[in-house]
Amino acid sequence: MDQLNDIEKAALDALASVVTEEALQAWKTAQLGRSSPLMQVFAGLGKLSKEERPAVGSAANRVKVAIEAALAARETEIKAAALAKSLEEDALDVTLPGRTVNVGRLHPSTQQLRRVLDILKEMGFQVYTSREVETDEMNFQMLNFPLHHPARDMQDSFYVESEGRGDNPILMRTHTSPGQIRAMREYAATNPQNPPPIRIALPGMCFRYEQITSRSEMQFNQVEGLAVGEGITFADLKGTLSDFARRMFGQNARTRFRADHFPFTEPSAEMDVECFVCGGKGCSVCKRSGWLEILGCGMVHPVVLQNGGYDPKRYSGFAWGMGPERQLMLRYKIDDIRYFWGNDVRFLEQF
Amino acid sequence: MKLPISWLKDFVDLDGLSVEDIARTFTFGGLEVEEIHYAGLPMPKDAASNEFKTSGIGWDRDKIVVAEIREVKPHPNADRLTLLDLFDGTQEQVVLTGAPNIFHLKGTGKLAKPIKVAYAKEGSTIYDGHADGLVLTTLKRAKIRGVDSYSMVCSEKELGISEEHEGIILLDDDAPVGMALVDYIGDAVLEVKINPNMARNANVYGLARELAAMTGRDLRSLPDFGGLKGGAGNFAEIEIVDPQLNPRFVLGLIRDVEIKPSPYWVQRRLRLAGVRPISNIVDATNYAMLELGEPLHAFDYDVLNERAGKKQVKIITRAAQDGEKLTTLDNVERTLSSMNVLVCDEKGPLSIAGVMGGAESEVYDASKEILEAKAIEPKEGEPTMGKINMRGKSTTNVLLEGAAWNFINIRRTAKQHNLPSEASFRFSRGVHPALAEMGVRRGLQLMAEWSGGKIEAGLVDNYPLPPKESVVEISTRDVKRILGIELSAQEIASLLERLEFKCEIRETIIDTRKSKNELSNIEHRISVTAPPYRLDIGEGVVGVADLMEEVARIFGVERIPETRLADPLPPQVGNPAFEWDERVRDILVRLGLQEVVSYRMTSPEREGRLAAHNEYARIANPITPDRNVLRRSLLASALEAAEKNVRAESLELFEIGPIFEPVKNDLPRELPRLAIVLTGLRAATSWDVKDSPALDFFDLKGRIELLLAGLRFVDVTYAPTESVAYLHPGKAAEVKVNGQVVGVFGELHPLTKEKYELGARPVLAAEFNIETLRALSPAYGIVPVAEFPPVYEDIAIIVDESVAASRVEGLIRQTGGRSVSDVRLFDVYRDEKIGANKKSLAYSLTYQAADKTMTDAEAAAIRNKIVKRLEHEVSAKLRS
Ligand SMILES: [Zn+2]
């Protein structure tokens, strides 16, 4: 009996200094292996007397269970310690930068054009594109800018060299409006007696003879809208453009209309949207006024309708024009318009 | 147009309207106020959040007052300074000044007639007169050369009225001493933008009329011209050669005019309106022009008499002859052309009509030469006053011209001679001939008041071509149809009558069967006659639109309701070409490319670096010499974009847009193109990526393959090409889709690359005709996904260098047929052991049966067939 107590004590004492998986295996062999003192006790049971055997046997079993329990407990401890160690060793510097992938982007102007056109398409305005180099006739005369008219001062043009064209020189379009004439004529040609209604959006690059500075560019995008039909009113214009403004600038965007002048619309107006930066309180973006000038609009001038093949006594319509780059400048607080065609990727990759 | 509020007040009662209310009313009515300049009147409390751009100052009513100088005394310690005995209405003050315009009174004792001045007391805030620009300062007590100074008499600059700081303001004699200066001359100036349709309102009276109409107030009538209405004058004759050029010409005469400065209130108003006061005569012409909109021209009648040899003065107006010469009053000899109109006498030209006077016949006063010399040069493009010389005599007789001119001629003349002026600004936008007479009468009246001259009875008036009276018919239905508002005929008429239109309402019976929306068969039509100050109301449908604009403006654009389109939605047809380009953009962006957008204008030199073209659509008026043609190569644009980003480690750029192919004397062809440029490292350098390989030919080709696959093209072939001069002859390929060439790509030729600053790494470039691509049909259907397991096998074959990989792959696919579902080249290997001019191509093949599991034996059989074919066709050897 004392021998068994000694075996147990010796085993547990030895276990105290075991800290590795290997040492634990060695200890297990030493304490529970075939030649271990405990197993020797079991092996010697047969030699004991019948009287002694049960007591020694049960005592040996108790010691075996105790040693095995200690083994299991230590095994768990050692595994946990090993795992903790390996987790610690595997730790990363999570502040190192992540691995990037090469991301492609659309030019910000393309992105803005899409925002605008997506809304207009949902409102039933279809995209109509036309050429960038135009005749004076299409760019001005058909749009009620007569030759030598003061209204032409508002849009200085780049001319393309040509000869013998008289009062119809070739020029870079100053607005997408010649597309209005082209579209109306195309639509009207399908049924000259009863031309169909029109709702189109005209996006594209336009050109004005202006020095390139932080505030003015010789080239810029424009999106115009045109609706022509029987019974389209100025009230419809206001409703449609306010709808557009809510889609574009937020559900609570307020609008206001001021009378203005454009040769190809009459009456004409300017639409302001409440400044979305300051909510109308006044800030540097809206120049303290609380309002942002967003677009010019008006009822299509009867001369323009006529030139497009629509009888102004029967048809009416409205048109408006706006600048995606200007919208971007307001939206992202871009203070230099030259960024747009500068093609510096450090600018482009911010969108 | 600079509009002083005080002047506006002459014609409309402004009670209850703040300066900002007035500005807002104008702005909403189509006369945008671009800036408010406060010259005395109180600025709004929180100027920072004002809805208008503002400048100037408001004057403290307790601190800035009218005062009188009673004596000008010398300063004990400074010769240039004087001490003023001044009375501010409550107290006597001693004020120090260096003002030159009272210096001559120094030491002359008590003044017989005290001088009225603008006096700023201690603590007032005014502008620093000596500072450059406008710097606010507050008056504090200080000792200047031993004398206490705490207040001052002010110049116009110090009070924000003008830039004038040559002397102090000398108020008119009737200025009430002690009155707050703001109550006496406090003002604000609205800078009103005059759009072409508002040309008639480039004057105080026109703007007053608009304000009255929009606020429902009364417009005061013009000043009474008194006894000026006498019959025809006989002091001159007028001959008009071409009434189309000169529909009316009016002359008035005033005798014994004493030329001297105008009263201070006149000078102040002119300066606020942006016009420099010169003398009472010149000021009267300018004042009348600013007030009524009719530019006037003053001639020295004695000079004309002299030229006429003491006979009757005869004025002739006619087109100039080409090459005719006239020295204008700025002493420039101008060579004229037939588009210019001249005012002449029988001896020759006197002035360029409506634009600038001639030097000889100007009213002249030698004493004013100094002022003349100081004339501020106009800023480019800004209208300025015609400068007027004066020829010294104690009194002068002045012949005053008011006329109407063809606006196109004036416009072209002012442009041709680069002579923008207040007069040509107005005449080139059209001035109604009715104003010619009114202007002359007003001008004469002002001259008489300010110069003591005597107006000669009657006018000489030649009016061969009165404008056609403009009468337009509109109806209540027009207003409903165009504006979307229901107004009665009376309401419409009363809106228009506020702008002096004459309206006559008639009831007409209409045929209701023709228009389904009519409830009544009675329509109210209004016959509207345009007032005699407007030339802008058209005929017929144009006239209707012109009147709709007026109804909308006076009714209030803001008051028109917002409705949704009720008109039927047109058929929705989309825009396939536009949508196609957008799809190409999307795919390229997915592949990691950045879109750029370049200028359409370039120069042959810029583009010549890539490819030389002889023919270009050339810009006739380029803004810079390096943007003088329309681009013919989109790739050149994209390469320039890459060049701008040369410091970037890696660039993958594309642009989609038109190039312009010239057509002689016609519109150029606009051809849509796609350009791609790749250069730099394949992977960005980072803490665990050190030596990334550079992007090369196959990086570009891979993207092109993915682009075309993304567009669902399957019949795509690549062939080497040496025909593209700017590409490396051994690293260039032509792409065909469905057998049609759609583009080329490759590595930039070393000689081309040298011309760009693009760093050391290869530059890959592609140019596609996306118009051709758009027209090609994409694949129909999909490749079924195999159900049974395939067999994979790698084979390596050795072929001559000259055998293209695409040929080998083609043969493998052709021979394998449907049983070989994939062929992937995974290695290209060259080695001495293989032999000179040989290469090893290693392929990974996938053998696949559609209806069962492919066995190794079956795969081996197919492979043997392929190898035999390759041996036969391209002398390939299987590498063991
Ligand atoms: Zn704001």
Residue B369 pLDDT: 39
Per-residue pLDDT band for B230 (boundaries 50, 70, 90) equals low
Q: Most A CBs within 10 Å: which of B412, B557, B678, as the mutation test of the A interface?
A: B557
How long a stretch of residues is chain B?
880
Tokens 């390139």 sit on residue:
A212
- Please name the residue of chain A whose CA is at the shortest distance from the CA of residue B592: A104
Rounded to 5°, angle at Cα B753 from B747 and B758: 100
Centroid of ligand 1 to alpha carbon of B674 (angstroms): 40
**CB within 8 A of A25, min separation 6: which ones?**
none
Calculate mean pLDDT across residues B66-81.
91
Percent of chain A at pLDDT exceeding 90: 73
Calculate mean pLDDT across residues A236-264.
95
Q: How many CB atoms lie within 10 A of CB B625?
A: 8
In b/e form, how buried is each residue of B673-701, taking b as 16+ CB within 10 angstroms?
Answer: bbbbbbbbbebeeeeeeeeeebbbbebbb
**Nearest C-alpha of chain A: how many angstroms from B532?**
21
For residue B220, being part of any structural domain is answered with no
For residue A94, being part of any structural domain is answered with no
For residue A98, being part of any structural domain is answered with no
Residue B516 pLDDT: 53
How many domains does one find in chain B?
6
Calculate mean pLDDT across residues B54-78.
93
Residue B367 pLDDT: 38
Give phi and psi for A230, each to the nearest 5. -95, 115
User: Chain B 26-45, CB below 8 Å of chain A: which residues?
Assistant: 27-30, 32
Strand, coil or helix: B565: coil
**Helix or strand holding residue B821 (H, E):** strand B820-829
Look up the ipTM and state it: 0.88
**Helix or strand holding residue A137 (H, E):** helix A136-139
Distance CA B797, CA B845 (A): 13
Instruction: Clarify whether residues B66 and B45 are in a common domain.
Output: no
Mean pLDDT, chain A, integer: 93
Calculate mean pLDDT across residues B672-694.
93
Distance CA A260, CA B195 (A): 8
What is the Cβ-side half-sphere exposure of residue B418, based on CA atoms within 13 angstroms?
6
The answer to whether residue A85 neighbours chain B at the CB level (below 8 Å) is no
Centroid of ligand 1 to alpha carbon of A240 (angstroms): 24
Distances (CA, A) of B343 to B353, B363, B405: 6, 16, 11
The answer to whether residue B485 neighbours chain A at the CB level (below 8 Å) is yes
Strand, coil or helix: B654: strand
Using the predicted structure, report yes or no on whether residue B231 has a pLDDT greater than 90.
no
Sheet with strand B877-878: strands edge to edge: B820-829, B838-847, B791-800, B877-878
Calculate mean pLDDT across residues B660-676.
97
**Nearest C-alpha of chain A: how many angstroms from B48?**
7
Calculate mean pLDDT across residues B310-330.
92
Distance CA B7, CA B215 (A): 18
Residue B520 pLDDT: 66
Instruction: Clarify whether residues A249 and A139 are in a common domain.
Output: yes
Using the predicted structure, report yes or no on whether residue B383 has a pLDDT greater than 70.
no
Using the predicted structure, report yes or no on whether residue B793 has a pLDDT greater than 50.
yes
Q: Can you spell out the DSSP letters for A258-293?
A: EEEEETTEEEEEEEEEE-TTTTTS--TTTTTSSEEE
Strand, coil or helix: A63: helix
For residue A205, being part of any structural domain is answered with yes
Using the predicted structure, report yes or no on whether residue B803 has a pLDDT greater than 60.
yes
Residue B76 pLDDT: 85
Per-residue pLDDT band for B513 (boundaries 50, 70, 90) equals low
Distance CA B182, CA B41 (A): 6
Instruction: Clarify whether residues A282 and A166 are in a common domain.
Output: yes
Q: Which of A131, A133, A240 is opposite residue B565, by nearest beta carbon?
A: A240
For residue B469, being part of any structural domain is answered with no
Q: Which domain holds residue B601?
A: 576-775
Tokens 């002397």 sit on residue:
B167
Give phi and psi for B110, each to the nearest 5. -60, 135
Distance CA A35, CA B682 (A): 66
The CATH number covering residue B651 comes to 3.30.930.10
Strand, coil or helix: B572: coil
Contact between chains at A259 and B552 (C-beta distance less than 8 A): yes
For residue B487, being part of any structural domain is answered with yes
The answer to whether residue A194 neighbours chain B at the CB level (below 8 Å) is no
Contact between chains at A230 and B195 (C-beta distance less than 8 A): no
For residue A100, being part of any structural domain is answered with no
Percent of chain B at pLDDT exceeding 70: 94
Percent of chain B at pLDDT exceeding 90: 78
Using the predicted structure, report yes or no on whether residue B327 has a pLDDT greater than 50.
yes
Per-residue pLDDT band for A296 (boundaries 50, 70, 90) equals very high
Residue A119 pLDDT: 97
Q: Which of A107, A211, A243 is opposite residue B595, by nearest beta carbon?
A: A107
Q: Can you spell out the DSSP letters for B423-480?
A: HHHHHTT---THHHHHHHHHHHHHHHHHH--EEPSSBEEE-S-PPPP-EEEEEHHHHH
Instruction: Clarify whether residues A217 and A321 are in a common domain.
Output: yes
For residue A99, being part of any structural domain is answered with no
Contact between chains at A259 and B645 (C-beta distance less than 8 A): no
Using the predicted structure, report yes or no on whether residue B613 has a pLDDT greater than 90.
yes
- Please name the residue of chain B whose CA is at the shortest distance from the CA of residue A161: B620
Distance CA B453, CA B443 (A): 12
The answer to whether residue B646 neighbours chain A at the CB level (below 8 Å) is no
Calculate mean pLDDT across residues A237-252.
95
Calculate mean pLDDT across residues B449-458.
92
Instruction: Clarify whether residues A78 and A185 are in a common domain.
Output: no
Residue B308 pLDDT: 92
**CB within 8 A of B27, min separation 6: which ones?**
A258, B33
Instruction: Clarify whether residues A78 and A178 are in a common domain.
Output: no
Contact between chains at A288 and B667 (C-beta distance less than 8 A): no
Instruction: Clarify whether residues B264 and B276 are in a common domain.
Output: yes
pLDDT digits (tens, 9 = 90+) for A163-216: 999 999 999 999 999 999 999 999 999 999 999 999 999 999 999 999 999 999
Distance CA B872, CA B880 (A): 18
pTM above 0.90, yes or no: no
pLDDT digits (tens, 9 = 90+) for B824-842: 999 999 988 888 899 999 9
Per-residue pLDDT band for B389 (boundaries 50, 70, 90) equals very low
Q: Which of A199, A233, A342 is opposite residue B482, by nearest beta carbon?
A: A233
The answer to whether residue A280 neighbours chain B at the CB level (below 8 Å) is no
Per-residue pLDDT band for B366 (boundaries 50, 70, 90) equals very low
**CB within 8 A of B751, min separation 6: which ones?**
none
Q: How many CB atoms lie within 10 A of CB B34?
A: 12
What is the Cβ-side half-sphere exposure of residue B320, based on CA atoms within 13 angstroms?
23
Q: Most B CBs within 10 Å: which of A343, A344, A346, A348, as the mutation test of the B interface?
A: A343
Please, what is the end-to-end C-alpha distance for chain B in angstroms?
Answer: 93
Distance CA A263, CA A298 (A): 10
Distance CA B472, CA B541 (A): 9
Using the predicted structure, report yes or no on whether residue B385 has a pLDDT greater than 70.
no
Instruction: Clarify whether residues A268 and A334 are in a common domain.
Output: yes
Tokens of B465: 């071509």
Distance CA A329, CA A240 (A): 24
Contact between chains at A109 and B557 (C-beta distance less than 8 A): no
Q: How many CB atoms lie within 10 A of CB A351?
A: 14
The answer to whether residue A289 neighbours chain B at the CB level (below 8 Å) is yes
Calculate mean pLDDT across residues B497-503.
96
Per-residue pLDDT band for B372 (boundaries 50, 70, 90) equals very low
Calculate mean pLDDT across residues B680-690.
90
Q: Which domain holds residue A39?
A: 2-89
- Which residues are paired to B652 by β-bridges? B678
Task: Point out the least confidently predicted range of A65-79, A299-313, B185-199, B364-378.
Answer: B364-378
For residue B316, being part of any structural domain is answered with yes
For residue A103, being part of any structural domain is answered with no
Instruction: Clarify whether residues A113 and A173 are in a common domain.
Output: yes
The candidate with the shortest Cα–Cα distance to B411, out of B383, B451, B379, is B383
The CATH number covering residue B22 comes to 3.30.56.10
Mean pLDDT, chain B, integer: 91
Q: What is the DSSP letter of B384?
A: B
The answer to whether residue B625 neighbours chain A at the CB level (below 8 Å) is no
For residue B786, being part of any structural domain is answered with no
Tokens of A82: 């090993």
Instruction: Clarify whether residues B88 and B51 are in a common domain.
Output: no
pLDDT digits (tens, 9 = 90+) for A33-48: 888 888 888 888 888 8
How many domains does one find in chain A?
2
For residue A95, being part of any structural domain is answered with no
Using the predicted structure, report yes or no on whether residue A123 has a pLDDT greater than 90.
yes
Instruction: Clarify whether residues A243 and A112 are in a common domain.
Output: yes
pLDDT digits (tens, 9 = 90+) for B523-568: 889 999 999 899 999 999 999 999 999 999 999 999 999 999 999 9
Per-residue pLDDT band for A99 (boundaries 50, 70, 90) equals confident
- Which residues are paired to B717 by β-bridges? B736
Distance CA B812, CA B805 (A): 11
Using the predicted structure, report yes or no on whether residue A281 has a pLDDT greater than 50.
yes
Q: How many CB atoms lie within 10 A of CB B804?
A: 14
Instruction: Clarify whether residues A83 and A123 are in a common domain.
Output: no
Residue B226 pLDDT: 55
Calculate mean pLDDT across residues B46-52.
69
Q: Which of B562, B600, B657 is opposite residue A242, by nearest beta carbon?
A: B562
Tokens of B450: 């300010």
Pairing relation of β-strands B727-737 and B236-240? unpaired
**Nearest C-alpha of chain A: how many angstroms from B553?**
6
pLDDT digits (tens, 9 = 90+) for B11-29: 999 999 999 999 999 999 9
Using the predicted structure, report yes or no on whether residue B114 has a pLDDT greater than 90.
yes
Three-state SS for B36-50 is: EEEEECCCCCCHHHC
In b/e form, how buried is each residue of B818-852, taking b as 16+ CB within 10 angstroms?
Answer: ebbbebeeeeeeeeeebeeebbbbebebbbbbeee
Strand, coil or helix: B232: strand
Asked whether B413 and B421 are in contact (CB, 8 A), the reply is no
Centroid of ligand 1 to alpha carbon of A329 (angstroms): 13
Q: Which of A109, A258, A342 is opposite residue B557, by nearest beta carbon?
A: A258
Centroid of ligand 1 to alpha carbon of A256 (angstroms): 15
Q: How many CB atoms lie within 10 A of CB B339?
A: 19
Q: Most B CBs within 10 Å: which of A92, A160, A285, as the mutation test of the B interface?
A: A160
The residue type of A190 is T
Instruction: Clarify whether residues A189 and A53 are in a common domain.
Output: no
Tokens 């001959």 sit on residue:
B239
Tokens of A249: 């600038």
